[in-house]
Structure 1
Amino acid sequence: MAGVAGLAMAASLPFSAAFADDEKVLRVGMTVADVPQTTGQANQGGEGTRFIGLTLYDALINWDLSKSEVPSVLRPGLATEWSVDDDTQTVWTFKLREGVKFHDGSDFTADAVVWNLEKLLNKESPQYDASQAAQASQWFGAIASYEKIDDMTVAITTKEPDATFPYQIAGIMYSSPAQWDKLGGDWGKFAQEPSGTGPFMLDRLVPRERAELVKNPNYWDPDRVPASDRVILMCMPDASTRVAALLSGQVDFIEAPSPDAVPRLKSSGMQIVTNVYPHIWPYQLSYQPDSPFLDLKVRKAANLAIDRESLSQFLGGLAVPAKGQVTEGHPWFGNPTFDITYDPEQALSLMQEAGYGPDKPLHIKLLISTSGSGQMQPLPMNEFIAENLTAVGFDVEFEVFEWEALRARRRAGAMAPENEGADGLNNSWAFWDPNIGILQAAASDMTPPRGFNWGGYSNPEIDELAKKAKVAFDPAEQDKLLGEIHTKMVDDAMWIWVVHDLNPRALGPNVKGFVQAQNWYQDLTPVYVDN
């Protein structure tokens, strides 16, 4: 039914697309089922940030998404420079960019920065928004305090020395206090008329259907004033719906085309764009007292049972087998001794040593999604993997969620009552940020809501290395420590790692300007349809 509904929705596109003849319009088919939250901190995962967070808003530190040939790096955003106090290594000073205005015309100043941090961190402030705070919790956990130094300078103090803090502050977006006041201090009204500093402005919002963005001609960065006058973001969680909409000319750009549709798309003249980027499709495992994955033999067996090469071929070559959290050759890969490969005989032997096998299967319950940000094709992929696991003695049960509902289960942690009985959770994961990719995933003090250690994994050696990496302000030293952590993660089979996807997108033949960065985020400002 989702596909039928999606096709019906796609067929209605021309009705609302009666814009000026000379207006450059880009129509995008997203994988999400609802328009991401527009108030500042987008929901719907990385895709929500990609299409709403980074279009309507900016952070103090932005990502440079202009290059495809090298991994993305941080660059100045609403702050032109930042530094950490040498003595304490906890006080970060941000010099703000002069002349930046919100979409409503009000000025971006230090007062606006403090106001936005209050909306996330201070439950007593009038502007506090629990919904935005939930989405930003992964970014503000290190913050102890903040203060205005002068109109264009802010100091933010972390709870402890943290060399990864610039990556974290890059996730916090800034909404207009003046617009919030104008709308009576109502975030619901603000969602319909949001005001950020970003390169696009919201023109129309239809929940569960579309968001229409228009160019911000006065954007502060002249190099990123949008090439398109209007971008229409369409909710199309069903892959076949997205492909049909692109082939019929109802959209110009789609996320995650289904692998079996790629040959047809290519033969129809569509551009298939892929690139390596820091992303992994894993199962996060539970380490609660009743979890079968407390047994290292079971964890290793599950990793060895999966035929990743065949799965990558099943995905049309749009993914590559994983050997751990990060890709081989990455500065953080290290030197693990556990080789994650396809070895069903060894997997079966390990399961038998643990007391299980095809004649005495081990029941496991995995939480998965129907679609969503970075999930590729989760339903057929999970069915493929279930067959692999069953062959070596697992009895796999899936509990299926809509993407944002699954994220809520992830944020709650395996220890939450609603996750009782869940042995694993299939959530795609990014590792461009060492804090999220490695440290918060593996350190024992980073269970939700503070961090991303969903299952409650604990390894004292990793904890000690994580403490050292957090205060390693020298990049080379930090890379070395992260490599040592990753080595231990793999050797301990901390998660079940499956594939690194190649972030496929399909574009119409007349779409120009798109540069696929090696990042989960992408920049829509240079993209346009050449009519």
Structure 2
Amino acid sequence: MLRTLRVALAAFALGAFSLAHAAPERSVSIGLQAAITSIDPHYHNLSPNNSMLIHIFEPLIARDPNQKLVPALATSWKAIDDLTWEFKLRKNVKFHDGSAFTADDVVFTLNRVPNVPNSPSSFATFTKPIVDVKVVDPHTLIFKTASPHVLLPSDLASVLIVSKLNGEKATTADYNSGKAAIGTGPYKFVEYIQNQHVLLKANYGHWAGEQPWDKVTFKILSNPAARVAALLSRDVQMIETVPTSDIAKFEKDANFMLADKVSNRVIYVHLWQWSDKSPPFVTAKDGKPLDKNPFKDARVRKALSMAINRDAISDRVMEKKSVPAAQLLADTFYGTSKKLKPQKYDPEGAKKLLAEAGYPNGFAMTVHGTNNRYINDDKIAQTIAQFYSRIGIDTKVETLPAGTYFSRATNGEFGYMLLGWGTESGEQGSSLRSLLATRNPEKGMGVNNRGRYSNPAMDEQLVKALVTMDDKKREGLIQAAAETAMNDTALIPIHYEVSTWATAKGYRYTPRTDQYTLAMDLKPVK
């Protein structure tokens, strides 16, 4: 009798399993604006990559939609003293191949990050402060820093953990092919076709529970019209970066829902200051090299900032979906200064400063930027060029696909570089460290300082801030460093993007300040 009951229960369970898997596949397609340049989570610190790869891999600490730190592969973390941090790791976590996640995978990851060949934008800035890692047991780590480093939890939220077993001999190409793309995340890698799509399938054994989607297809739709058309035809159920010209149309249509948020991304300009010689693509009006680098002169930098009408860009180019910028983050974020205001548009003042600096008739230059990465990026470049023509600078524009542009900008091939930066930490100190600190990769400073700006006074304020454990004192030091840099026109901030997503009826997206487009934040509406 007992054996008969067991057989019956087994048959019932098998039938239930079969019925569950006979259910229609819960699939969703999402249209992305920017291309994914790699599946290697440590190759290119680029927001579209990071957004995609957090589906497959996970950090020790994650960020919620407002960038608040929350547990992920680490369940807890604490500073034992000014130089020592203890992290407790989540138990019973498995990689996609079934192997166990342990402290050894974290150590392997931290050693790999600064040593990825040919990285166009390294993650090393997030790991450099760590000088020693001790494995206490498979689920406990002790990190030592050379000096007090309060940003360590935030830094580690930007580092995705890879498998030591699968990653020891893996190259970036192995991650791109999927061979090494084995993480602990809620989705498993299926396929990556560059500039076309990324396919993922659900990781049913994920520690946080089941996702609402069995299959997710991310389609690269860089052309704004194509992205909108894909949503209108239901070829995709959600798109990111809704073209500003289409927002009003979607707002009036009950078949779609919009979600938006002021982002952590500043659109800005880096000016080439690698040496005293004439910068690339910057010449006299007759095409001859200049006898010195005009961008080394703070008056020229300020003139170029004063010549830009930020309100006009926000109102007309961005159709009110941006906020004119004065620093690296909107002033609602930690470490930003209320004293800093967007530079007022003053073309006559700009001309006077150029004359004072020795350029009464201006010079010639090319504005370089992307044409498929940021909202209206090509239009912004064209508009800036028009403003400069009004102050006597002969200006050309060349915009390139992001995949080509970023590597060339990193190599110092452009003089005037229109860029964007999303501050994943949600505080201004890390932005200053990455973008404007005097470049010192060994110390993780200025890693993304493509302009090679250098200001010892700002460096001193920033370094002091980064070793100050008291939150209030640290914020004051970060604000002072920001004021020093911005008053020196270390770079030219343009605006903060307002991110907008559109979903078809029956779907709802939770908007994020980090601009990430995550399948985990897309839910069906019942």
Q: TM-score range by the shorter chain?
A: 0.7 to 0.9
SS for the counterpart of 2:249 is helix
1:429-440 aligned within 5 A: 429-431=421-423, 432-440=426-434
Q: Which residue of 2 aligns with 1:73?
A: 68
Q: Which residue of 1 aligns with 2:50?
A: 49
State how far apart, in whole Å, the 2-side matches of 1:219 and 1:423 are. Answer: 47
Q: Say if 1:139 and 1:169, in contact at 8 Å, map to a contact too.
A: yes
1:236-385 aligned within 5 A: 236-268=221-253, 269-287=255-273, 288-290=275-277, 291-314=293-316, 315-334=318-337, 336=339, 340-357=343-360, 360-372=361-373, 375-385=374-384
Q: Say if 1:277 and 1:519, in contact at 8 Å, map to a contact too.
A: yes
State how far apart, in whole Å, the 1-side matches of 2:154 and 2:110 are. Answer: 16
CA deviation after TM superposition for structure 1 residue 28, in Å: 1.0
Name the aligned partner's letter for residue 343 of structure 2. Answer: I
Q: Which residue of 2 aligns with 1:30?
A: 32
Name the aligned partner's letter for residue 195 of structure 1. Answer: I
1:34-433 aligned within 5 A: 35-41=36-42, 43=44, 45-51=46-52, 53-65=53-65, 71-86=66-81, 89-121=82-114, 129-130=116-117, 135-180=122-167, 188-190=173-175, 191-193=177-179, 194-222=181-209, 225-268=210-253, 269-287=255-273, 288-290=275-277, 291-314=293-316, 315-334=318-337, 336=339, 340-357=343-360, 360-372=361-373, 375-412=374-411, 414=412, 419=413, 422-431=414-423, 432-433=426-427
Q: 1:393 to 1:332 in 2, by over 3 A?
A: farther
Compare CA radii of gyration and give the structure with the larger one: 2
RMSD (CA atoms)? 2.7
SS for the counterpart of 1:382 is helix
CA deviation after TM superposition for structure 1 residue 340, in Å: 0.8
Q: Say if 2:148 and 2:469, in contact at 8 Å, map to a contact too.
A: no
Q: Say if 1:390 and 1:396, in contact at 8 Å, map to a contact too.
A: yes
Q: 1:96 to 1:337 in 2, by over 3 A?
A: closer
Name the aligned partner's letter for residue 498 of structure 1. Answer: I
Kindly indicate whether residue 443 of structure 2 is the aligned counterpart of residue 444 of structure 1: no
Q: Which residue of 1 aligns with 2:288?
A: none
How many residues are treated as equivalent by the alignment? 482
State how far apart, in whole Å, the 1-side matches of 2:358 and 2:388 are. Answer: 15
CA deviation after TM superposition for structure 1 residue 391, in Å: 0.6
State how far apart, in whole Å, the 1-side matches of 2:22 and 2:247 are. Answer: 33
Q: 1:63 to 1:141 in 2, by over 3 A?
A: same
Deviations 1:446-504 (A, max 9, x none): 47985222222222221211121011112211111111111112211111111111012
SS for the counterpart of 1:356 is coil
Q: 1:154 to 1:329 in 2, by over 3 A?
A: closer
Q: Say if 1:60 and 1:169, in contact at 8 Å, map to a contact too.
A: yes
Q: Say if 1:24 and 1:229, in contact at 8 Å, map to a contact too.
A: yes
SS for the counterpart of 2:158 is coil
State how far apart, in whole Å, the 2-side matches of 1:186 and 1:495 are. Answer: 35
SS for the counterpart of 2:365 is strand
Q: 1:229 to 1:132 in 2, by over 3 A?
A: farther
Deviations 1:302-326 (A, max 9, x none): 1111121221122122112112222
Name the aligned partner's letter for residue 78 of structure 2. Answer: S
Q: 1:483 to 1:395 in 2, by over 3 A?
A: same
Deviations 1:167-224 (A, max 9, x none): 211111122233457xx856644532421111111223333311111222221123xx
Q: 1:259 to 1:20 in 2, by over 3 A?
A: farther
Name the aligned partner's letter for residue 239 of structure 2. Answer: I
CA deviation after TM superposition for structure 1 residue 255, in Å: 1.8
CA deviation after TM superposition for structure 1 residue 281, in Å: 0.3
Name the aligned partner's letter for residue 346 of structure 1. Answer: G
SS for the counterpart of 2:144 is strand
Q: TM-score, normalised by structure 2?
A: 0.84
Q: Say if 1:444 and 1:458, in contact at 8 Å, map to a contact too.
A: yes
Deviations 1:369-412 (A, max 9, x none): 1212xx11111111011101111122223343321332223444
State how far apart, in whole Å, the 1-side matches of 2:333 and 2:112 are. Answer: 37
Name the aligned partner's letter for residue 114 of structure 1. Answer: V
Q: 1:50 to 1:158 in 2, by over 3 A?
A: same
Q: Which residue of 2 aligns with 1:13?
A: none
Q: Say if 1:120 and 1:130, in contact at 8 Å, map to a contact too.
A: no
Deviations 1:496-518 (A, max 9, x none): 11111101222222222x21122
State how far apart, in whole Å, the 2-side matches of 1:515 and 1:339 are. Answer: 29
Q: Say if 1:469 and 1:482, in contact at 8 Å, map to a contact too.
A: yes
Flag as ranges the 4+ runs of structure 1 deviating above 6 A: none
CA deviation after TM superposition for structure 1 residue 336, in Å: 4.2
SS for the counterpart of 1:516 is coil
Deviations 1:291-310 (A, max 9, x none): 31222222112111112122
Q: 1:337 to 1:241 in 2, by over 3 A?
A: closer
SS for the counterpart of 2:42 is coil
The share of aligned pairs that are identical, in percent, is 23
Q: 1:80 to 1:131 in 2, by over 3 A?
A: farther
CA deviation after TM superposition for structure 1 residue 338, in Å: 7.0
SS for the counterpart of 2:218 is strand
State how far apart, in whole Å, the 2-side matches of 1:273 and 1:244 are. Answer: 18
